[in-house]
Structure 1
């Protein structure tokens, strides 16, 4: 993700949090920081958030660039289902040998 898209996403998140504050607490953080809703800096922040929303809208409908596409696939027709240690030992043969030695 490019730097412009990351900045746009951060500004959209800031805008969403500001709207949440307005909805839940009737408190406009941007307006309180920059001197009211009509102040020049508040309007700049609102404009930047709006432009960032448009950029993120374009991100929403763009294809996934980070997705890996597997071009070659290996087909395994006979998977080895043994344990990771190889063949399991047959302990019954060892018992027979031990029994013969005891006789």
Structure 2
């Protein structure tokens, strides 16, 4: 796994944990750490995590190939 894939995966995991916290406790960790949902840094983080989610679509062919071999 190259560096870009690893970075995208880590950011997706962070985003997933943030959504878990929002769903269970109504607590947005990104917003709490970076100035609220309207804070520029928080918004940048949301955009980066969203771009990583879109990029993760490129993982699907590799996952399909891996499961086809097993």
Q: TM-score range by the shorter chain?
A: 0.7 to 0.9
Q: Distance in 2 between matches of 1:50 and 1:2?
A: 19
4+ aligned runs moved over 6 Å, structure 1: none
Larger radius of gyration: 1
Q: How many aligned positions are there?
A: 65
- Please give the TM-score of this superposition, normalised by the length of structure 2: 0.86
5+ residue gaps, structure 2, are none
Gaps of 5+ in 1: 68-103
Bigger RCO (CA 8 Å, 6+ sep): 2
Give the structure-1-normalised TM-score.
Answer: 0.59
**What's the RMSD between the two structures over aligned residues?**
1.5
